[in-house]
A = this chain, B = another copy of it.
Amino acid sequence: MSMVEEKFKKLGVENAPGQELLQKGVKLDLKGEKILGEKIDFSHGDVDAHKPLPNSLELFIEGFNKGGIQAYTEYKGNKEIREYIAGKLSEYIKMNIPADNLIITPGTQGALFLATGSLITRGTKVSIVEPDYFANRKLVEFFEGEIVPIELDYFNVNEKKAGLNLKQLEEAFKSGVELFLFSNPNNPTGVIYSDEEITEIARLVNKYNVTVIADELYSRQIFDNREFYHLITKNINQDKLITIIGPSKTESLSGFRLGIAYGSPTIIKRMEKLQAITTLRTAGYNQAVLKSWFSEPDGFMKDRIEKHQAIRDNLIEKFKTIDGIKIRKTEAGSYIFPTLPELEVNLGDFVKILRIYANVIVTPGTEFGKSFINSIRLNFSQDEKKAAEGVDRILEMIRRYKK
């Protein structure tokens, strides 16, 4: 097998959210009858139930009508729009971000790709958290870095912490890790890192001269009035940090593919060079839509958070009705990540059973770390009623297959 073939063998997409149709037909041992019900796809949010930011389409049309000047922006994005976003983000994190230290990318996936591609080459030691966003591992592998995993013990920790194993992190940094990549709020668990944890991460990366990519995609959708701590606001070497955020989730703008990375000017410059050969730029007209972000109508964010908090509470109550299901309450974002009791089929088959016989799509825990063979992830940014019915069907299947 050639080197390229080997590399791509690792890069599976069949179990990635939204890719379920690629799963090959298999014979599954169905217990009982199919469970009928309206299809629900928990692999991503439902932008029909929670609509894109008002004004987003109008801004796109305005961008289109501007013509060439909006079609052909600088590779890192239209300057005026970067200035708008830099101003809004500065207010948001309460710290000044210059527009030149910011790049507009095709989604936060684009930002992650450009950031990792700017920092990882073969043999670069990279720490990623387990569990964490499924693409993190794939990105490190694609760029031929070496993964040094860090455990997030999100169950066995008091609720004020995320549960990052900071000792393990320091050991990893001591052993030569050059890059630490993590999401906060964590995807898939929905936990937030505590002030103490974030402060300690900052201290350790300074001490060991490590670079950090902090993926804060979900940081605007915080429940129960919790506090959120941005790593960039801590005492941290500002040239070693890239923060990522975007309007795809909380603001439902995923169909426009828009993301932002900001921080270290050294790294942003590399990301711009890399963007020049990946997609040239984020689609020009789409960039104009960013002006709807952080300018939501009064009450939009409050309403959004309340609605999601209510869905969360309802679904978590349901999961708790079955013995042996472990679940930690989501603190931010739209995910729940329950651990299921031991089942008579393996996780891969169970996920297919849910899809084929219960019309419910979930993402298997193994996408977020090899050891999560009993977990499933649900994006609960859904229609409330459909989500509740979907979870009822999941629970019924768990009852049938529970050992």
Contacts and interface: CB of A to CB of B under 8 A. Distances in A.
B67 A47 contact: yes
Contacts of A63: 255
A275 to B, nearest CB: 9
Contacts of A71: 47, 254-255
Contact of A276 (B16, B44, B61, B284): B16
A154 interface: no
A109 B280 CA distance: 7
Interface in A281-328: 281-286
B273 A113 contact: no
A279 B279 contact: yes
Interface in A119-176: 119-122, 124, 135, 138-139, 142
How many copies of this chain? 2
A257 to B, nearest CB: 4
Interface in A327-342: none
A255 B78 CA distance: 12
Interface residues on A, range: 35 or more
A285 to B, nearest CB: 5
Contacts of A74: 18-19, 21-22
A362 B74 CA distance: 16
A11 B286 contact: no
A272 interface: yes
A56 to B, nearest CB: 8
Interface in A83-126: 106-107, 109-110, 112-113, 118-122, 124
Nearest to A283: B257
Contact of A47 (B4, B8, B68): B68
Contacts of A274: 8, 11, 142
